[in-house]
Amino acid sequence: MSDTQRIDWLSLRAERNGAGVSTDRVVRFAAPLAALLVGLLIRYLAVLVTRTEQAPEAALRALCMWDCDWYIYIAERGYNPFPNVPGMIDHGNWAFFPVLPLLVGLATRVLPFLPTVIVGSLISLAASTWAVFAAWPLFDGNRRAYLLFAVLVLSGPFSFYFSTVLSEAMFFSLTVGVLAALKRGNVLLAGILAAALSATRIVGVFIVFAIVFDAYRRHRQAGGTPARFPRAVLENSDLLLAIVLAPLGLFCYMAFLHLWIGDALAFSHVQRAWAREIDDPLYYLWSALNHFPDPGSQDWFMPDQWLAFALVGGLVLTAVLFAQRRLGEAVFSTVALVLPLFTGVASMIRFVAALAPLYLLVARLLSRHPLLLVGGVLALLYLDYSVTIVWLGGYVALI
């Protein structure tokens, strides 16, 4: 090959690489924005079908159901000093962790001309969209998986959770942030985001497993031995600080509750008001699976069964994560599903819907073949509409 030919070939490769970088940028930013817009239109259509209101503001209000009212109350008035909430059931609101209502409360003070439900919904939409942007490095350049992930999050069957004042969007986005920071080797940022995650939901504290397993993987890749790992952790100040920071959000909330009402574990004790008592998790799962509809009922399955199916499906996906040796994500997801089961299957669909590692896994699996990608996108868009209709109808399994 002549020098001229070699230069021409190198120039052609550079042009192709440049085109690839340009395409990556388009996909990275266009896919989430398109998925966000399509999802908003689909859910707005679902509201138009089930409600008489037509204004976009009314649509956001219609999606605000169940726990959404609790978060709005906390954002506007704070935590109860005693269990007496006018217009709501007679117990305190300490079960709802502070990151989301704190952000919404601060934003409403900056934007006092907007209703709290609008501000909170915009924050949730912004958080879930940011989560998709932040997840780009987690796909290692797999554009199809990233596209499917964007659709799954922003216009998929559970995207209505990410469109209103619920903690799912914040929990999801902070989880993605931790995983993306670890992917880039920024363990200190991962620790800071983990602290915020542990103040969003109690199971957020277990993201520390992802930090530790990622450190262990890097330690082994560098030639370190298992016996040397504890010493390596102690010698890495950033890693040690990240591990210490991870539960800080939970500890801060516990300290606040202790000073506010004298019970640092009020978020756990108040669960009794929702009839959630600690018992055998296998008993709860088996009872839910065997709770069949009465003869002659038009329901295929009872709400408890749907909740149990969601748990089983989530655990199957965590098993795949284990098989793929994504140990940090697998352990975090497993604990996040099993720990709530000790008080029953209630809200299990929401718990599964908020687990970012499962979304990342499903997007990778469905992107392996173009037909799966196309079929997956169409199915997700249809489910966005149909499940939103069910949510608007007040189906208790989605609470």
Other Cβ atoms closer than 10 A to 281: 18
Is 145:156 a contact under the CB 8 Å cutoff? Answer: no
Two tokens at 169?
Answer: 């969007």
Is 341:311 a contact under the CB 8 Å cutoff? Answer: yes
Measure CA 198 to chain center. Answer: 13
Which of 211, 214, 208 lies closest to 251, judged by CA? 208
Whole-number pLDDT of residue 378: 93
Two tokens at 305?
Answer: 């069964």
Measure CA 371 to chain center. Answer: 27
* pLDDT of the chain, 399 residues: tens digit per residue: 444 443 343 333 434 445 555 777 877 888 999 999 999 999 999 999 988 777 778 888 999 998 999 999 999 999 988 655 555 555 788 999 999 999 999 999 999 999 999 999 999 999 999 999 999 999 998 999 999 999 999 999 999 999 999 999 999 999 999 999 999 999 999 999 999 999 999 999 999 999 999 999 999 999 999 999 999 999 999 999 999 999 999 999 999 999 998 899 999 888 877 777 788 899 989 998 988 877 766 667 788 999 999 999 999 999 999 999 999 999 999 999 999 999 889 899 999 999 999 999 999 999 888 888 888 889 999 999 999 999 999 898 998
* Predicted structure pTM score: 0.90
Two tokens at 373?
Answer: 């990608």
**Measured distance CA(366)–CA(182) in Å, rounded:** 24
**Measured distance CA(3)–CA(9) in Å, rounded:** 10
Place of tokens 């016996």: 227
Two tokens at 90?
Answer: 């007679």
Whole-number pLDDT of residue 109: 93
